[in-house]
Amino acid sequence: MGASDLPEQPMPRAPQPGRQRAVTRRGGPGKAGPTKEHRRIRREARTVAAMVGIYCQGHHDTAGGHLCGECQALLDYALLRLSRCPFQEAKTTCAKCPVHCYAPARREQIRAVMRYAGPRMLLRHPLLALMHLIDGITNR
């Protein structure tokens, strides 16, 4: 008796529209499988490597995936920045990143690379280019 009149408790489910996905969450424990964030970072690394490759080939007459010293240094720099990106799993594309982690000179270099390689990515690496575009749209 009386068991059926439970006090009605409206579930407090305040919507939090402004809440960013996982701002400070670091590689959580116990989540099996390849994590989404690592896929994203790895993809970003492949994208930037491909872009620098295209740029170097077009500007410095290198071929076969070899980079000149200058471009290799730029790529190393970009990959280092990426590995230290504070966003990791919530990473957007660098072009939209609010933290400008590149030194100004490097930033100019990478922008030149992206301007040149961006359109060409669609031809050479359509899937990477597409995923890069989607990353930029879905995660900002």
Sequence-distant (≥ 6) Cβ neighbours of residue 124 within 8 angstroms:
50, 54
Closest to Zn ion by CB, 43 or 60: 60
Asked whether position 72 contacts Zn ion by CB under 5 A, the answer is no
Asked whether position 121 contacts Zn ion by CB under 5 A, the answer is no
In 3D, which of 25, 28, 16 has the Cα closest to residue 90?
Answer: 25
Shortest Å distance, C-beta 83 to Zn ion: 22
Which CB contacts under 8 angstroms, 24+ apart, belong to 68-72? Answer: none
Q: Which stretch binds Zn ion (CB under 5 A): 37-45, 58-66, 74-82, 109-117?
A: 58-66
Asked whether position 68 contacts Zn ion by CB under 5 A, the answer is yes
Which 8-state DSSP code applies to residue 68? -
Binding site for Zn ion (CB under 5 A): 56, 60, 68, 71
